[in-house]
């Protein structure tokens, strides 16, 4: 599982976790939030990007992302559910590893590329229920910057 960091370049999952730990360790008394969100773009194939943002509340952030390419997925419903499952899977992995590293207080949010306006409004209840059912708070547009801003930027 490879990640890209604008600060550090290409990283493995373990290196990403270690970089998150080091970033938090620089200012350990500060409040942090871990945001995970996915977005996709279709062309000759479908590119999925999942972003991991470590936010120092009120004091900046650091982010990482990974890309996956799949065959073209035309169904909006299928793309949204796949984006959600990518975010959930990665959120669970990172959350468990951070807890094993002693970072028990970090909050994790899953940002979904759905909103109450537009074609995804019919999917909001289903995907937020999926995220909440896994123990994470779900954010939707316009509050879902992890998916609709950060991940979206790297799908192009």
Mean predicted lDDT score pLDDT of the chain: 96
pTM listed for this prediction = 0.95
pLDDT tens track for 43-55: 999 999 999 999 9
Residue 105 has pLDDT above 90, yes or no: no
Q: DSSP of the chain, one letter per residue?
A: -EEEETTTEEEEHHHHHHHHHHHHHHSTTS-EEEEEEEEEEESSSEEEEEEEEEEETTS-EEEEEEEEEES----HHHHHHHHHHHHHHHHHHHHHHHHHTT--S-EEEEEEEEESSSTTGGGHHHHHHHHHHTT--EEEETS-HIIIIIIHHTT-
């Amino acid at each position: 599982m490879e990640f890209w960091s604008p600060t550090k370049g290409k990283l493995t999952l373990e290196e990403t976790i270690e970089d998150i730990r080091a970033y938090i360790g620089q200012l350990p008394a500060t409040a942090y939030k871990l945001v995970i969100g996915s977005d996709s773009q279709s062309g000759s194939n479908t590119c999925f990007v999942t972003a991991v943002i470590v936010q120092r509340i009120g004091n900046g952030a650091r982010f990482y992302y990974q890309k996956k390419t799949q065959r073209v997925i035309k169904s909006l419903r299928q793309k949204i559910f796949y984006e959600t499952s990518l975010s959930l899977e990665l959120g669970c992995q990172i959350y468990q590893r951070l807890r094993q590293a002693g970072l028990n207080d970090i909050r994790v949010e899953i940002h979904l590329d759905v909103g109450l306006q537009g074609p995804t409004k019919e999917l909001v209840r289903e995907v937020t229920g999926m995220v909440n059912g896994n123990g994470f708070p779900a954010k939707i547009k316009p509050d879902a910057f992890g998916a609709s801003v950060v991940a979206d930027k790297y799908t192009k």
